[in-house]
Chains A and B, each alone.
Chain A
Amino acid sequence: MIVLLADKPEQASMSTILKPDNEEIFPKWFVKRRNYVAPNSTVFPDITVFSGDIIDLLQKLNSFTSLKYNWDSYGAIPPSLMSIRNARRFLFKNANVSLPFYFVSPGINGEVMIELNKDQKAAEIYFNPDGSEELLLYENNNCILEKEDVSSYTDLIEFFNE
């Protein structure tokens, strides 16, 4: 979020003007608060409406862009921008869906993995550098479903809510 100063009240949104109580002490500036990202955008959604857990995952995900070659000491390559972008898009799209988001980590081949976890159930979603996705569902660490074509997350939602 950024704050803009407007010298005329009509330049600011009425709902966000912070009018100074004492105009002799405070300068005659009107403050317009504006979201840094476009509201209602699926590309740049307003993250202030997301839960703290989602924001934490998004922040961690963004930090992956700074990883260099061999970041894990075993020769891992950095996550690709496509992997990060697709993982971010998944979080944006499903932030308000009833899913137990748990963990995000980079993979060693340029992918990004988002894990969901609830009781003995877990799901791993891999966002690969070539744009493909993989979904794995686990119960007690036993893999019960593995899909390479993840065009919808119906299985995922049903799995955690059944």
Chain B
Amino acid sequence: MSESLPQITIEDNDRLLRRVLFLHPDFIKPDGTPSSSSFSLKTGEKGLSVDIERLTTYDRSILDKSRFRLYFLKASFTTQLGLTNQHDPLPDNYAHSLITGNFSRSICRLLASSAKRINFP
């Protein structure tokens, strides 16, 4: 996190965007939900990287439209699971945030199964 960038408070109705690979290999199951793995933490990672929707654009957040699709989680849902949402602005991505807490396999599955797809592009 950059010290010079002001942090905002994430509201309950904020939507948190996460990129999910849909090609080579696809992370999206036949029923349209993402794989649990796409909402898992890498070893040593502080939290799950997401973008606050109101601070970015879909075009910016998706990085590569040919490989990714965007899914969102309601901030209120992650807090209901006992997780914490924290704005973590980066120099090249002010919308960047982290969802922190206990990411057990079952929590990852709940996050993935509750994520809703953004109809973009």
A146 touches B106 (CB 8 A): yes
Q: Which residues from B are CB-within-8-Å of A134?
A: 105
Contact A141/B110 with A73-B64, A75-B42, A109-B42 known, Cβ cut-off 8 Å:
yes
A-side interface residues, number (CB < 8 Å): 30
Interface residue tally of chain B, by bracket?
A: 20 to 34
CB within 8 Å of B: which of A78-113?
A: 102-103, 105-109, 111, 113
Taking the nearest CB of chain B, how far is it from the CB of A59, in angstroms?
10
Stretch with Cβ within 8 A of A (4 or more), from B9-17, B30-38, B52-60 = B30-38
Q: Which residue of A lies closest to B35 (CB)?
A: A105
Contact status B113-A126, CB under 8 Å: no
A-B contacts at CB below 8 angstroms, number: 68
**What's the Cα separation between A102 and B25 when bound, in Å?**
15
**From A75, A76, A113, A142, contact of B36 by CB (8 A):** A113
Do A113 and B106 touch across chains, with their CB atoms under 8 A apart? no
Which residues on B sit within 8 Å (CB–CB) of A113?
35-37
List A residues 22-71 near B (Cβ within 8 Å). 60, 63-64, 67, 71
Taking A72-B19, A102-B30, A143-B106 as given, write out 17 further A-B residue pairs in contact, using a Cβ cutoff of 8 Å, ordered by the A residue number. A60-B25, A73-B19, A73-B63, A73-B64, A75-B42, A75-B45, A103-B30, A103-B35, A105-B25, A108-B41, A111-B37, A113-B37, A124-B105, A126-B105, A138-B109, A143-B109, A146-B106
